[in-house]
Structure 1
Amino acid sequence: MKIVVIGGTGLIGSKVVAILRQGGHDVVAASLKSGVNIITGEGLKDAMSGAETVVDLANSPSFEDQAVLEFFQAAGRNVLAAEAAAGVRHHVALSIVGTDRTPENGYFRAKVAQEKLIEASHIPYTIVRATQFMEFLGAIAASSAQGNTLRVSPGLFQPIAADDVARSIADVALEPPRNGIVEIAGPDRAPFDEIVARYLKATGDARAVVRDPEARYFGGKVEQHSLVPLGEARLGRIGLDDWLRQARAKA
Protein backbone atom coordinates (compact mmCIF):
# COMPACT_ATOMS: atom_id res chain seq x y z
CA MET A 1 0.00 0.00 0.00
CA LYS A 2 1.23 3.48 -0.83
CA ILE A 3 0.95 5.80 2.15
CA VAL A 4 1.88 9.48 2.17
CA VAL A 5 2.98 10.89 5.52
CA ILE A 6 2.86 14.69 5.51
CA GLY A 7 5.34 16.00 8.03
CA GLY A 8 7.17 12.72 7.59
CA THR A 9 10.49 14.04 8.88
CA GLY A 10 9.19 15.47 12.18
CA LEU A 11 9.12 14.02 15.70
CA ILE A 12 6.08 11.81 15.12
CA GLY A 13 6.25 11.60 11.33
CA SER A 14 9.73 10.07 11.18
CA LYS A 15 8.65 7.36 13.62
CA VAL A 16 5.42 6.64 11.70
CA VAL A 17 7.35 6.40 8.42
CA ALA A 18 9.81 3.91 9.96
CA ILE A 19 7.03 1.72 11.40
CA LEU A 20 5.07 1.61 8.13
CA ARG A 21 8.17 0.89 6.05
CA GLN A 22 9.08 -1.95 8.38
CA GLY A 23 5.63 -3.32 7.62
CA GLY A 24 6.49 -3.42 3.93
CA HIS A 25 4.47 -0.42 2.77
CA ASP A 26 5.48 2.11 0.12
CA VAL A 27 5.78 5.26 2.23
CA VAL A 28 6.39 8.79 0.99
CA ALA A 29 7.76 11.11 3.70
CA ALA A 30 6.35 14.37 2.36
CA SER A 31 7.88 17.58 3.67
CA LEU A 32 9.58 20.74 2.46
CA LYS A 33 12.80 18.70 2.35
CA SER A 34 11.23 16.37 -0.23
CA GLY A 35 9.80 19.20 -2.30
CA VAL A 36 6.25 19.11 -0.95
CA ASN A 37 4.82 22.45 0.19
CA ILE A 38 1.33 22.10 1.63
CA ILE A 39 0.80 25.87 1.80
CA THR A 40 1.56 26.58 -1.86
CA GLY A 41 0.49 23.13 -3.05
CA GLU A 42 3.85 22.52 -4.75
CA GLY A 43 4.63 18.80 -5.10
CA LEU A 44 1.33 17.58 -3.68
CA LYS A 45 -0.02 16.12 -6.92
CA ASP A 46 3.06 13.96 -7.53
CA ALA A 47 3.24 12.86 -3.89
CA MET A 48 -0.40 11.78 -3.85
CA SER A 49 -0.32 9.88 -7.13
CA GLY A 50 -1.35 6.27 -6.46
CA ALA A 51 -1.70 6.78 -2.69
CA GLU A 52 -4.41 4.92 -0.81
CA THR A 53 -3.88 6.59 2.56
CA VAL A 54 -2.57 9.99 3.63
CA VAL A 55 -1.42 10.71 7.18
CA ASP A 56 -1.33 14.43 7.96
CA LEU A 57 1.11 15.25 10.77
CA ALA A 58 2.05 18.74 9.61
CA ASN A 59 2.49 21.47 12.20
CA SER A 60 2.50 25.24 11.97
CA PRO A 61 5.88 27.01 12.13
CA SER A 62 4.20 29.75 14.20
CA PHE A 63 1.92 29.30 17.22
CA GLU A 64 0.59 32.87 17.09
CA ASP A 65 -3.21 32.65 17.09
CA GLN A 66 -3.95 34.01 13.61
CA ALA A 67 -0.90 32.46 11.97
CA VAL A 68 -1.63 28.96 13.22
CA LEU A 69 -5.28 29.23 12.17
CA GLU A 70 -4.31 30.35 8.67
CA PHE A 71 -1.74 27.55 8.42
CA PHE A 72 -4.15 24.73 9.24
CA GLN A 73 -6.90 26.17 7.05
CA ALA A 74 -4.65 26.67 4.00
CA ALA A 75 -2.82 23.36 4.44
CA GLY A 76 -6.04 21.48 5.05
CA ARG A 77 -7.70 22.80 1.92
CA ASN A 78 -4.68 22.05 -0.28
CA VAL A 79 -4.06 18.56 1.08
CA LEU A 80 -7.69 17.50 0.93
CA ALA A 81 -8.11 18.84 -2.61
CA ALA A 82 -5.05 16.90 -3.75
CA GLU A 83 -6.36 13.76 -2.06
CA ALA A 84 -9.75 14.10 -3.73
CA ALA A 85 -8.08 14.45 -7.13
CA ALA A 86 -5.90 11.40 -6.50
CA GLY A 87 -8.72 9.21 -5.20
CA VAL A 88 -7.23 8.75 -1.73
CA ARG A 89 -9.37 6.40 0.35
CA HIS A 90 -8.34 7.25 3.91
CA HIS A 91 -7.25 10.55 5.45
CA VAL A 92 -5.65 10.27 8.90
CA ALA A 93 -4.94 13.44 10.89
CA LEU A 94 -3.35 14.05 14.28
CA SER A 95 -5.25 16.37 16.60
CA ILE A 96 -5.49 17.00 20.35
CA VAL A 97 -7.68 15.56 23.09
CA GLY A 98 -9.97 18.30 24.36
CA THR A 99 -9.26 20.63 21.46
CA ASP A 100 -12.96 21.56 21.31
CA ARG A 101 -13.22 22.10 25.08
CA THR A 102 -10.69 24.94 25.49
CA PRO A 103 -11.73 27.69 23.04
CA GLU A 104 -9.45 30.28 24.68
CA ASN A 105 -6.41 28.40 23.36
CA GLY A 106 -5.64 29.69 19.86
CA TYR A 107 -3.81 26.52 18.79
CA PHE A 108 -6.76 24.39 19.89
CA ARG A 109 -9.14 26.62 17.90
CA ALA A 110 -6.97 26.09 14.81
CA LYS A 111 -7.10 22.31 15.24
CA VAL A 112 -10.90 22.50 15.48
CA ALA A 113 -10.93 24.38 12.17
CA GLN A 114 -8.71 21.68 10.64
CA GLU A 115 -11.03 18.94 11.90
CA LYS A 116 -14.06 20.69 10.41
CA LEU A 117 -12.41 20.81 6.98
CA ILE A 118 -11.70 17.08 7.19
CA GLU A 119 -15.25 16.24 8.22
CA ALA A 120 -16.68 18.30 5.33
CA SER A 121 -14.34 16.89 2.67
CA HIS A 122 -16.26 13.67 1.82
CA ILE A 123 -12.96 11.77 1.98
CA PRO A 124 -13.15 8.83 4.41
CA TYR A 125 -11.17 9.84 7.47
CA THR A 126 -9.98 9.11 10.98
CA ILE A 127 -8.95 11.89 13.35
CA VAL A 128 -6.53 10.75 16.05
CA ARG A 129 -6.72 13.01 19.08
CA ALA A 130 -3.72 12.64 21.39
CA THR A 131 -3.00 14.02 24.82
CA GLN A 132 0.14 16.15 25.31
CA PHE A 133 3.45 14.51 24.46
CA MET A 134 5.89 13.66 27.25
CA GLU A 135 8.61 15.11 25.03
CA PHE A 136 7.01 18.54 25.47
CA LEU A 137 6.91 18.51 29.28
CA GLY A 138 9.95 20.80 29.47
CA ALA A 139 8.31 23.41 27.23
CA ILE A 140 5.01 23.05 29.09
CA ALA A 141 6.79 23.64 32.40
CA ALA A 142 8.61 26.66 30.98
CA SER A 143 5.33 28.18 29.81
CA SER A 144 4.02 28.27 33.40
CA ALA A 145 7.15 29.67 35.03
CA GLN A 146 7.15 32.88 37.05
CA GLY A 147 10.72 33.25 38.25
CA ASN A 148 11.55 30.18 40.34
CA THR A 149 7.90 29.20 40.68
CA LEU A 150 5.67 27.27 38.28
CA ARG A 151 1.96 27.89 38.68
CA VAL A 152 0.11 24.85 37.34
CA SER A 153 -3.53 23.79 37.33
CA PRO A 154 -4.67 20.74 39.32
CA GLY A 155 -6.81 19.63 36.35
CA LEU A 156 -6.14 16.08 35.20
CA PHE A 157 -3.25 15.39 32.82
CA GLN A 158 -2.37 12.19 30.94
CA PRO A 159 0.73 12.69 28.76
CA ILE A 160 1.75 10.17 26.10
CA ALA A 161 5.17 9.24 24.74
CA ALA A 162 5.93 10.06 21.10
CA ASP A 163 6.74 6.39 20.40
CA ASP A 164 3.24 5.41 21.54
CA VAL A 165 1.68 8.18 19.45
CA ALA A 166 3.51 6.93 16.37
CA ARG A 167 2.48 3.32 16.95
CA SER A 168 -1.17 4.29 17.32
CA ILE A 169 -1.14 6.44 14.19
CA ALA A 170 0.53 3.69 12.17
CA ASP A 171 -2.13 1.23 13.38
CA VAL A 172 -4.96 3.62 12.46
CA ALA A 173 -3.46 4.20 9.00
CA LEU A 174 -3.81 0.49 8.27
CA GLU A 175 -7.35 0.21 9.63
CA PRO A 176 -10.59 1.09 7.79
CA PRO A 177 -11.61 4.75 8.10
CA ARG A 178 -13.71 5.51 11.17
CA ASN A 179 -15.27 8.71 9.81
CA GLY A 180 -14.84 9.79 13.39
CA ILE A 181 -12.35 10.28 16.20
CA VAL A 182 -9.95 7.91 17.98
CA GLU A 183 -8.46 9.20 21.22
CA ILE A 184 -5.07 8.13 22.56
CA ALA A 185 -3.40 8.88 25.88
CA GLY A 186 -0.63 7.76 28.17
CA PRO A 187 -1.22 5.10 30.84
CA ASP A 188 -0.76 7.49 33.80
CA ARG A 189 -3.41 10.04 34.79
CA ALA A 190 -2.77 12.51 37.61
CA PRO A 191 -3.25 16.20 38.43
CA PHE A 192 -1.35 18.47 36.04
CA ASP A 193 0.72 20.06 38.82
CA GLU A 194 1.79 16.65 40.13
CA ILE A 195 2.94 15.51 36.68
CA VAL A 196 5.00 18.70 36.24
CA ALA A 197 6.49 18.27 39.74
CA ARG A 198 7.51 14.69 38.90
CA TYR A 199 9.14 15.91 35.71
CA LEU A 200 11.08 18.65 37.51
CA LYS A 201 12.26 16.27 40.23
CA ALA A 202 13.42 13.71 37.67
CA THR A 203 15.36 16.33 35.72
CA GLY A 204 16.98 17.89 38.80
CA ASP A 205 15.06 21.15 38.45
CA ALA A 206 14.72 22.78 41.89
CA ARG A 207 11.93 25.18 40.97
CA ALA A 208 8.74 24.93 43.04
CA VAL A 209 5.38 23.93 41.60
CA VAL A 210 2.39 25.80 43.02
CA ARG A 211 -1.09 24.34 42.53
CA ASP A 212 -3.21 27.11 41.05
CA PRO A 213 -6.76 26.41 39.80
CA GLU A 214 -6.62 29.67 37.81
CA ALA A 215 -3.37 28.80 36.00
CA ARG A 216 -3.71 28.80 32.22
CA TYR A 217 -2.43 26.32 29.65
CA PHE A 218 -1.27 28.44 26.70
CA GLY A 219 -4.13 30.85 27.34
CA GLY A 220 -6.82 28.28 28.08
CA LYS A 221 -8.37 27.63 31.48
CA VAL A 222 -7.88 24.02 32.58
CA GLU A 223 -10.96 22.41 34.11
CA GLN A 224 -10.85 18.98 35.76
CA HIS A 225 -11.23 17.06 32.47
CA SER A 226 -10.14 19.64 29.86
CA LEU A 227 -7.03 17.76 28.73
CA VAL A 228 -7.92 14.08 29.19
CA PRO A 229 -10.21 11.68 27.31
CA LEU A 230 -13.81 11.68 28.53
CA GLY A 231 -14.58 8.20 27.21
CA GLU A 232 -12.81 5.24 25.67
CA ALA A 233 -9.19 5.81 24.62
CA ARG A 234 -6.29 3.72 23.39
CA LEU A 235 -3.60 3.85 26.05
CA GLY A 236 0.13 3.88 25.36
CA ARG A 237 2.52 1.35 26.84
CA ILE A 238 5.19 3.74 28.13
CA GLY A 239 4.51 5.12 31.60
CA LEU A 240 5.82 8.49 32.74
CA ASP A 241 8.41 7.05 35.13
CA ASP A 242 9.74 4.71 32.42
CA TRP A 243 9.90 7.59 29.96
CA LEU A 244 11.74 9.78 32.45
CA ARG A 245 14.29 7.02 33.08
CA GLN A 246 14.83 6.63 29.33
CA ALA A 247 15.16 10.39 28.90
CA ARG A 248 17.76 10.61 31.68
CA ALA A 249 19.72 7.71 30.14
CA LYS A 250 19.87 9.52 26.79
CA ALA A 251 20.90 12.85 28.33
Structure 2
Amino acid sequence: MKIVVIGGTGLIGSKLVAGLDGQGHEVVAASPSSGVDTLTGAGLAEVLDGASVVVDVSNSPSFEDAAVLEFFRTSTRNLLDAEAAAGVGHHVALSVVGTGRWPESGYFRAKAAQEEIIRTAGIPFSIVRATQFFEFVGSIAGVGTVGNEVRLSPVLVQPMAGADVAAALGRVAVGAPLDGVVEIAGPEVFRLDDFVRDGLAARHDPREVVADPDAGYFGAPLEERTLVPGDGALLGTTGFADWLKEN
Protein backbone atom coordinates (compact mmCIF):
# COMPACT_ATOMS: atom_id res chain seq x y z
CA MET A 1 0.00 0.00 0.00
CA LYS A 2 1.35 3.42 -0.97
CA ILE A 3 1.07 5.95 1.83
CA VAL A 4 2.07 9.59 1.35
CA VAL A 5 3.00 11.56 4.46
CA ILE A 6 2.63 15.31 3.99
CA GLY A 7 5.15 16.90 6.32
CA GLY A 8 7.04 13.62 6.31
CA THR A 9 10.42 15.12 7.22
CA GLY A 10 9.31 16.82 10.46
CA LEU A 11 9.21 15.69 14.08
CA ILE A 12 6.15 13.45 13.79
CA GLY A 13 6.31 12.80 10.06
CA SER A 14 9.81 11.34 10.09
CA LYS A 15 8.87 8.92 12.89
CA LEU A 16 5.68 7.95 11.08
CA VAL A 17 7.52 7.31 7.81
CA ALA A 18 10.07 5.12 9.56
CA GLY A 19 7.38 3.11 11.33
CA LEU A 20 5.28 2.50 8.23
CA ASP A 21 8.35 1.65 6.17
CA GLY A 22 9.30 -0.92 8.79
CA GLN A 23 5.90 -2.55 8.30
CA GLY A 24 6.61 -3.01 4.59
CA HIS A 25 4.45 -0.24 3.17
CA GLU A 26 5.51 1.97 0.29
CA VAL A 27 5.90 5.27 2.12
CA VAL A 28 6.71 8.65 0.59
CA ALA A 29 7.80 11.59 2.74
CA ALA A 30 6.46 14.71 1.02
CA SER A 31 7.51 18.24 1.93
CA PRO A 32 8.64 21.46 0.22
CA SER A 33 12.20 20.14 0.35
CA SER A 34 11.10 17.19 -1.82
CA GLY A 35 9.26 19.46 -4.28
CA VAL A 36 5.77 19.08 -2.80
CA ASP A 37 4.12 22.33 -1.71
CA THR A 38 0.53 22.11 -0.50
CA LEU A 39 0.16 25.90 -0.45
CA THR A 40 0.78 26.20 -4.19
CA GLY A 41 -0.21 22.67 -5.17
CA ALA A 42 3.19 22.04 -6.74
CA GLY A 43 4.14 18.37 -6.92
CA LEU A 44 0.89 17.05 -5.48
CA ALA A 45 -0.39 15.26 -8.58
CA GLU A 46 2.92 13.47 -9.04
CA VAL A 47 3.42 12.35 -5.44
CA LEU A 48 -0.18 11.18 -5.00
CA ASP A 49 -0.20 9.03 -8.13
CA GLY A 50 -1.10 5.50 -6.99
CA ALA A 51 -1.49 6.47 -3.33
CA SER A 52 -4.11 4.71 -1.20
CA VAL A 53 -3.67 6.82 1.94
CA VAL A 54 -2.50 10.36 2.67
CA VAL A 55 -1.47 11.41 6.17
CA ASP A 56 -1.22 15.15 6.70
CA VAL A 57 1.03 16.14 9.61
CA SER A 58 2.12 19.46 8.10
CA ASN A 59 2.07 22.66 10.11
CA SER A 60 2.01 26.37 9.41
CA PRO A 61 5.39 28.15 9.28
CA SER A 62 3.73 31.11 11.00
CA PHE A 63 1.43 31.01 14.04
CA GLU A 64 0.07 34.53 13.48
CA ASP A 65 -3.72 34.27 13.44
CA ALA A 66 -4.39 35.23 9.82
CA ALA A 67 -1.38 33.36 8.46
CA VAL A 68 -2.13 30.08 10.22
CA LEU A 69 -5.77 30.19 9.11
CA GLU A 70 -4.74 30.83 5.51
CA PHE A 71 -2.22 27.99 5.65
CA PHE A 72 -4.63 25.33 6.86
CA ARG A 73 -7.47 26.45 4.61
CA THR A 74 -5.40 26.67 1.44
CA SER A 75 -3.14 23.68 1.94
CA THR A 76 -5.98 21.39 3.02
CA ARG A 77 -8.18 22.33 0.06
CA ASN A 78 -5.32 21.87 -2.40
CA LEU A 79 -4.41 18.52 -0.88
CA LEU A 80 -7.95 17.17 -0.85
CA ASP A 81 -8.59 18.32 -4.43
CA ALA A 82 -5.46 16.49 -5.54
CA GLU A 83 -6.47 13.39 -3.57
CA ALA A 84 -9.89 13.34 -5.26
CA ALA A 85 -8.23 13.52 -8.66
CA ALA A 86 -5.82 10.72 -7.75
CA GLY A 87 -8.49 8.45 -6.26
CA VAL A 88 -7.04 8.40 -2.75
CA GLY A 89 -9.29 6.37 -0.44
CA HIS A 90 -8.30 7.59 3.04
CA HIS A 91 -7.26 11.02 4.29
CA VAL A 92 -5.70 11.11 7.78
CA ALA A 93 -5.06 14.44 9.48
CA LEU A 94 -3.22 15.26 12.69
CA SER A 95 -5.16 17.80 14.73
CA VAL A 96 -5.14 19.00 18.36
CA VAL A 97 -7.14 18.02 21.43
CA GLY A 98 -9.29 21.01 22.34
CA THR A 99 -10.13 21.93 18.76
CA GLY A 100 -13.65 23.32 18.64
CA ARG A 101 -13.77 24.40 22.27
CA TRP A 102 -11.11 27.10 22.41
CA PRO A 103 -12.18 29.88 19.99
CA GLU A 104 -9.93 32.42 21.75
CA SER A 105 -6.91 30.75 20.12
CA GLY A 106 -6.22 31.66 16.50
CA TYR A 107 -4.35 28.38 15.99
CA PHE A 108 -7.25 26.32 17.29
CA ARG A 109 -9.69 28.28 15.11
CA ALA A 110 -7.51 27.38 12.13
CA LYS A 111 -7.48 23.69 13.07
CA ALA A 112 -11.28 23.79 13.41
CA ALA A 113 -11.50 25.25 9.90
CA GLN A 114 -9.20 22.52 8.60
CA GLU A 115 -11.32 19.80 10.18
CA GLU A 116 -14.51 21.22 8.65
CA ILE A 117 -12.94 21.23 5.18
CA ILE A 118 -11.95 17.58 5.64
CA ARG A 119 -15.42 16.56 6.81
CA THR A 120 -17.14 18.09 3.78
CA ALA A 121 -14.65 17.06 1.07
CA GLY A 122 -16.25 13.72 0.29
CA ILE A 123 -13.10 11.65 0.84
CA PRO A 124 -13.18 8.99 3.60
CA PHE A 125 -11.20 10.45 6.49
CA SER A 126 -9.81 10.05 9.99
CA ILE A 127 -8.94 13.02 12.22
CA VAL A 128 -6.48 12.26 15.02
CA ARG A 129 -6.46 14.90 17.73
CA ALA A 130 -3.32 14.75 19.87
CA THR A 131 -2.35 16.51 23.07
CA GLN A 132 0.86 18.53 23.43
CA PHE A 133 4.10 16.69 22.72
CA PHE A 134 6.85 16.19 25.31
CA GLU A 135 9.20 17.65 22.72
CA PHE A 136 7.46 21.03 23.02
CA VAL A 137 8.22 21.57 26.72
CA GLY A 138 11.05 23.99 25.87
CA SER A 139 8.97 26.11 23.50
CA ILE A 140 6.10 26.26 26.01
CA ALA A 141 8.56 27.52 28.61
CA GLY A 142 9.93 30.06 26.17
CA VAL A 143 6.53 31.62 25.50
CA GLY A 144 5.93 32.07 29.23
CA THR A 145 9.36 33.42 30.10
CA VAL A 146 9.73 36.90 31.55
CA GLY A 147 13.23 37.54 32.84
CA ASN A 148 14.19 34.53 34.94
CA GLU A 149 10.60 33.44 35.51
CA VAL A 150 8.32 31.20 33.46
CA ARG A 151 4.71 32.20 34.16
CA LEU A 152 2.17 29.56 33.18
CA SER A 153 -1.48 28.96 33.87
CA PRO A 154 -1.99 25.89 36.14
CA VAL A 155 -4.41 24.23 33.69
CA LEU A 156 -4.42 20.50 33.11
CA VAL A 157 -2.45 18.87 30.29
CA GLN A 158 -1.92 15.26 29.26
CA PRO A 159 1.15 15.46 27.00
CA MET A 160 2.63 12.58 25.06
CA ALA A 161 5.82 11.47 23.35
CA GLY A 162 6.19 12.22 19.65
CA ALA A 163 6.94 8.54 19.03
CA ASP A 164 3.58 7.59 20.55
CA VAL A 165 1.84 10.16 18.33
CA ALA A 166 3.46 8.65 15.25
CA ALA A 167 2.58 5.11 16.32
CA ALA A 168 -1.08 6.05 16.79
CA LEU A 169 -1.19 7.78 13.41
CA GLY A 170 0.35 4.71 11.80
CA ARG A 171 -2.33 2.43 13.23
CA VAL A 172 -5.08 4.74 11.98
CA ALA A 173 -3.48 5.09 8.54
CA VAL A 174 -3.48 1.36 7.82
CA GLY A 175 -6.99 0.84 9.18
CA ALA A 176 -10.40 1.63 7.78
CA PRO A 177 -11.37 5.31 7.65
CA LEU A 178 -13.13 6.46 10.83
CA ASP A 179 -15.11 9.25 9.15
CA GLY A 180 -14.75 10.91 12.52
CA VAL A 181 -12.35 11.95 15.26
CA VAL A 182 -10.18 9.97 17.66
CA GLU A 183 -8.27 11.60 20.54
CA ILE A 184 -4.83 10.46 21.68
CA ALA A 185 -2.93 11.51 24.78
CA GLY A 186 -0.17 10.55 27.18
CA PRO A 187 -0.68 8.23 30.15
CA GLU A 188 -0.36 10.98 32.80
CA VAL A 189 -2.19 14.21 33.62
CA PHE A 190 -0.13 17.21 34.83
CA ARG A 191 -0.72 20.81 35.67
CA LEU A 192 0.93 22.80 32.90
CA ASP A 193 3.31 24.55 35.29
CA ASP A 194 4.38 21.22 36.84
CA PHE A 195 4.98 19.68 33.41
CA VAL A 196 7.28 22.53 32.40
CA ARG A 197 8.92 22.68 35.84
CA ASP A 198 9.88 19.01 35.61
CA GLY A 199 11.13 19.46 32.07
CA LEU A 200 13.34 22.43 32.92
CA ALA A 201 14.68 20.74 36.05
CA ALA A 202 15.78 17.74 34.00
CA ARG A 203 17.78 20.12 31.79
CA HIS A 204 19.23 21.98 34.81
CA ASP A 205 17.52 25.12 33.57
CA PRO A 206 17.66 27.75 36.36
CA ARG A 207 14.42 29.53 35.44
CA GLU A 208 11.72 29.55 38.10
CA VAL A 209 8.30 28.32 37.00
CA VAL A 210 5.43 30.29 38.55
CA ALA A 211 1.79 29.21 38.47
CA ASP A 212 -0.15 32.24 37.24
CA PRO A 213 -3.89 31.80 36.47
CA ASP A 214 -3.79 34.98 34.38
CA ALA A 215 -0.91 33.84 32.18
CA GLY A 216 -3.00 32.12 29.53
CA TYR A 217 -1.44 29.79 26.98
CA PHE A 218 0.30 31.14 23.88
CA GLY A 219 -1.44 34.45 24.51
CA ALA A 220 -5.00 33.19 24.96
CA PRO A 221 -6.99 32.41 28.12
CA LEU A 222 -8.35 28.90 28.53
CA GLU A 223 -10.32 26.74 30.93
CA GLU A 224 -8.80 24.13 33.24
CA ARG A 225 -9.69 21.13 31.03
CA THR A 226 -9.51 22.68 27.55
CA LEU A 227 -6.32 20.79 26.65
CA VAL A 228 -7.15 17.34 28.04
CA PRO A 229 -9.09 14.70 26.12
CA GLY A 230 -12.51 13.33 26.89
CA ASP A 231 -13.40 9.79 27.83
CA GLY A 232 -12.28 7.12 25.40
CA ALA A 233 -8.98 8.68 24.33
CA LEU A 234 -6.27 6.30 23.19
CA LEU A 235 -3.30 6.59 25.54
CA GLY A 236 0.39 6.31 24.73
CA THR A 237 2.68 4.20 26.87
CA THR A 238 5.65 6.52 27.39
CA GLY A 239 5.75 8.37 30.71
CA PHE A 240 7.31 11.81 30.92
CA ALA A 241 10.00 10.78 33.44
CA ASP A 242 11.11 7.92 31.19
CA TRP A 243 11.14 10.22 28.17
CA LEU A 244 13.28 12.76 30.02
CA LYS A 245 15.82 10.07 30.92
CA GLU A 246 16.09 9.00 27.28
CA ASN A 247 16.25 12.57 25.93
Q: Same fold (TM over 0.5)?
A: yes
Residue 104 of structure 1 deviates from its aligned partner by 1.4
The separation in 1 between residues aligned to 2:99 and 2:147, in whole angstroms, is 29
Note the 1:1-251 alignment, pairs <5 A. Answer: 1-247=1-247
Does the 8 Å CA contact 1:132/1:158 hold for their aligned counterparts? yes
Separation in 2, partners of 1:155, 1:125: 31
State the Cα distance separating 1:195 from its structure 2 match.
Answer: 1.0
Work out the CA distance in 2 between the residues paired with 1:227 and 1:2: 34
In 2, the alpha carbon distance for the partners of 1:240 and 1:176 equals 31
Can you give the 5+ residue segments of structure 1 that lack an aligned partner in the other structure? none
Q: Please report how far the alpha carbon of residue 127 of structure 1 lies from its aligned counterpart in structure 2 after TM superposition.
A: 0.4
What TM-score results when the alignment is normalised by the length of structure 1? Answer: 0.96
- Residue 42 of structure 1: CA displacement? 1.0
The amino acid that maps onto 1:165 is V
Q: Normalized against structure 2, the TM-score is what?
A: 0.98
Letter matched to residue 221 of structure 1: P
Structure 2 letter corresponding to 1:98: G
**AA partner of residue 142 (structure 1):** G
User: Identity over the aligned pairs, expressed in percent?
Assistant: 58
Deviation of 1:10 after TM superposition, in Å, equals: 0.8
> Hey, which bits of structure 1, 4+ residues long, moved more than 4 A?
none
CA distance in 2 between counterparts of 1:160 and 1:202 reads 17
Alpha-carbon shift at residue 222 of structure 1 (Å):
2.6
Instruction: State the number of aligned residues.
Output: 247
**2: CA distance, partners of 1:212 / 1:99:** 23
Could you tell me how far 1:150 is from its partner in structure 2? 1.4
* Matched residue SS, 2:69: helix
What is the rounded CA distance, in whole Å, between the counterparts of 2:197 and 2:8 in structure 1? 33
Please give the per-residue CA displacement for 1:51-103, whole angstroms capped at 9, x wherever unaligned.
Answer: 11100011111111111110111101100000111111110000000022221
Note the residue ranges of structure 2 that are not aligned, 5 or more in a row.
none
